[in-house]
Amino acid sequence: MNNPAQIGPYRCGAGENLLLIAGPCALQAEYNQTIADELARLHDRLPINVLFKGSFDKANRSSANTGRGCGLENGLEMLANVKSQTGLPLTTDIHETHQAEPVGNVCDLIQIPAFLSRQTDLLAAAAKTGKAINVKKGQFMSPHDMQNVVQKLESFGCQNGLLCERGTFFGYGRLVNDMQSLVIMRELGVPVCFDATHSVQEPGGLGNSTGGNRRMVEPLARAAAAVGIDALFLETHPKPEQSPSDGANMLPLEQLESFLVQILKIRDTLLG
C-alpha cells in the first residue's frame, strides 16, 4: 500500500499537508453549496487539502421511520455540481457493490462504512474502480484486525488507501477512542485518518435515532493530532439542528476555521 497515498489530486501521508475530509452528513440541496464554498475558502487560506464529503444514502439508520437520503442518482448529481462549482475533489460512502462503479465515476475517494469494513465483496468492488479507498475501522474491531482489510485491498489491486478511526463500542450507547489505534494502524503502512464527529456519537442514544456530544469533537481531534494523523474527517453544517442525520455531533460551520487552526498548530508542533 502506498504511503503517501494518491487521493485525487492530493498526496496523503508522511510529509504531506493534512487532508481534510468534510461536508454534511446527508447531502442537502439547500446547504451543499454553502458548506462547499466555505471548505474551498479554507483550502485557499490554510495549509490543508480538502475533499468534500456528503452521503446519498444513510443505510444504517436507527429506525425505519427516519429518512434515508436523496438517493444514488440525485446524490451523484449534487456531488458533481459541487465539484464543478468549487473544484473540490469528492468522496461519499457506498453500502452495496452495485454502487461502486457509478460512485467511482464521480468521486475521487470511496468510503467504506465502519459497519461494512469486513465485507469482502464491497472492498473488491471499490478497488475495481481504481479510486483511493477510505475504510473506517468497525466499532467492533481492534486496530490489529485492520491488517486483514489492508491485505484484502492489496489483493484486489488497491494501493492507495486510508484507515480511519471512529471509536469503539463501550457498553450500550457509548463509543470510546483508544488513541493507540492510530499508531497501530499507521504501522500497517497506510496513512491514518481520525473521524472527529462520529467518534462522539451515542448510538441509539435518542431511542429511534443516534445522539452525540459535539462538545467532545475538539478535545478528541486535538488528542488525535498530537498522536499523529494524516487526515481528519468531520461533518459540518451551518445549522446542525436542521441536518437530517447526526446533527447532535456535527461541528457548526462557523466554528470550523478556528477549530482547524488549533489542529494545525498541534500538528506543526509534532512535525517540528
5-271 CATH fold: TIM Barrel (3.20.20)
199-236 pLDDT, tens digit each = 998 875 444 455 678 899 999 999 999 999 999 999 99
- Contacts for 215 with CB less than 8 Å, ≥ 6 apart: 200
**Helix/strand/coil for 34:** helix
Q: What is the pLDDT of residue 205?
A: 46
Q: What is the pLDDT of residue 202?
A: 85
For residues 6-25, give the mean pLDDT: 97
Alpha helices, H only, 46-196: 72-86, 100-106, 120-128, 146-155, 180-186
- Distance, in Å, from the CA atom of 5 to the CA atom of 159, rounded to the nearest integer, reads 8
Q: What is the pLDDT of residue 201?
A: 87
Q: What would the grid cell of residue 204 be? A: 441509539
- Contacts for 43 with CB less than 8 Å, ≥ 6 apart: 49, 50, 88
- Distance, in Å, from the CA atom of 129 to the CA atom of 110, rounded to the nearest integer, reads 9
- Please provide residue 177's backbone torsions phi and psi, each rounded to the nearest 5 degrees: -115, 120
Per 3-state DSSP, the chain is made up of helix, strand and coil in percentages (nearest 5) of: 40, 20, 35
Q: Which residue has the higher pLDDT, 244 or 90?
A: 90
Q: For the chain, what percent of residues have pLDDT higher than 70? A: 93
Q: Which residue has the higher pLDDT, 193 or 212?
A: 193
Position 61 pLDDT exceeds 60: no
Quick one: pLDDT band at residue 247, thresholds 50, 70, 90? confident
**Over the Cα atoms of the chain, what is R_g?**
17
Position 63 pLDDT exceeds 70: no
122-142 pLDDT, tens digit each = 999 999 999 999 999 999 999
Do 47 and 264 touch, CB atoms closer than 8 A?
Answer: yes
Quick one: pLDDT band at residue 33, thresholds 50, 70, 90? very high
- Distance, in Å, from the CA atom of 94 to the CA atom of 91, rounded to the nearest integer, reads 10
- Please provide residue 101's backbone torsions phi and psi, each rounded to the nearest 5 degrees: -65, -50
Q: What is the pLDDT of residue 62?
A: 55
- Distance, in Å, from the CA atom of 90 to the CA atom of 75, rounded to the nearest integer, reads 12
- Contacts for 128 with CB less than 8 Å, ≥ 6 apart: 100, 101, 156, 157
Q: CB burial class (10 A; 0-12, 13-18, 19+) of residue 207?
A: exposed
Supply the mean pLDDT for the chain: 93
Q: What is the pLDDT of residue 270?
A: 85
**Helix/strand/coil for 235:** strand
**Is pTM, for the whole model, over 0.85?**
yes
